[in-house]
Amino acid sequence: MKECSKSINRRMSDPNFMNRYFAGDGIDIGGAPDPLFLYSELFPRLREVRTWDLGDGDATFMESVKDETYDFVHSSHCLEHLLDPKKGLRNWFRILKPGGYLVVIVPDEDLYEQGVFPSTFNADHKWTFTISKSESWSDKSINLFDLLPKLGKAAEVVKVELLNQGYRYVLPRFDQTLTPIGEAGIEFVVRKRTSEEIAFCGLHKHPGEVDGLLFKLLTGITKPT
């Protein structure tokens, strides 16, 4: 299950990952089996990424990491292993700098567990996840559309995507992440708003107006005087 590795080609084709999400210094929570740092040179704006795993402490609390430490926080298939994923996600967001990005992949309950929980494919899974359903067959189901707003006013949800590009819906029930192309997850990205953006209810404030020449270059229209 090299789920981080499977994501690399997809992410390299996305300008947001290349220019925004993986920029500066980051931390990869739960990444030891398949670390993001192996692919650092493929993301030109990424400087360093620290791998955090069991030997570093409980990923729920991130106790040794100060607030607003990292430009980005990444985690691939770790949140479902935590006893309290809501508290874990809050602490992952806590250690993120304003303006930075939280990038997380979790298994989708319908594509991965496929109607059976506790999971027959990974016995350590403590929760199942869905983007948004009014009802679930799982009594441990978490709706991301309910979970992410609980991060508060600073949370700007910029992406929630079902990862089913290589998923084979016609096959009988088995763990499709064991195949080289099978993803059965959900990827979400949350940006941490700055204090100025929070004060203006999410509006990005910019210093001054665009000058006349730049306005013309951007729009092809002469700016009225």
Digit-coded pLDDT (tens) for 30-55: 999 999 999 999 999 999 999 999 99
Positive or negative, the CA dihedral 11, 13, 14, 18 is: positive
Each residue of 9-34: pLDDT tens digit? 999 999 999 999 999 999 999 999 99
Instruction: Tell me the residue range of the domain where 48 lies.
Output: 3-219
Is 50 a member of any domain? yes
CA distance 119 to 122: 5
76: closest CA among 38, 106, 102? 106
Residue 165 belongs to domain with CATH number: 3.40.50.150
In a domain, 90, yes or no: yes
Q: How far apart are CA 167 and CA 97, in angstroms?
A: 35
Count how many domains the chain has: 1
When comparing pLDDT for 119 and 208, which is higher? 119
- Using an 8 Å Cβ cutoff, are 102 and 72 in contact? yes
pLDDT at 204: 80
Length of the chain, in residues: 225
How confident is the model at residue 12, as a pLDDT?
A: 98
CA–CA dist 109, 117 (Å, integer): 9
- And the tokens for 75? 């985690």
Domain-embedded: residue 86: yes
The structure tokens 């980051």 sit at 26
DSSP string spanning 168-190?
-TTSPSS-GGGSSS---EEEEEE
pLDDT band for position 225 (50/70/90)? Answer: low
pLDDT digits (tens, 9 = 90+) for 120-163: 999 999 999 999 999 999 999 999 999 999 999 999 999 999 99
pLDDT higher than 90, residue 1: no
Q: Is residue 145 part of a domain?
A: yes
> In this structure, is residue 203 part of a structural domain?
yes
Q: Edge-to-edge, what's the strand order for the sheet holding 24-29?
A: 46-52, 24-29, 70-76, 96-107, 185-192, 155-163
Distance of alpha carbon 8 from its chain centroid, rounded?
A: 14
- The verdict on residue 225 lying in a domain is no
Question: Does 157 reside within a domain?
Answer: yes
**How confident is the model over 68-113, as pLDDT tens digits?**
999 999 999 999 999 999 999 999 999 999 999 999 999 999 999 9
For residue 224, being part of any structural domain is answered with no
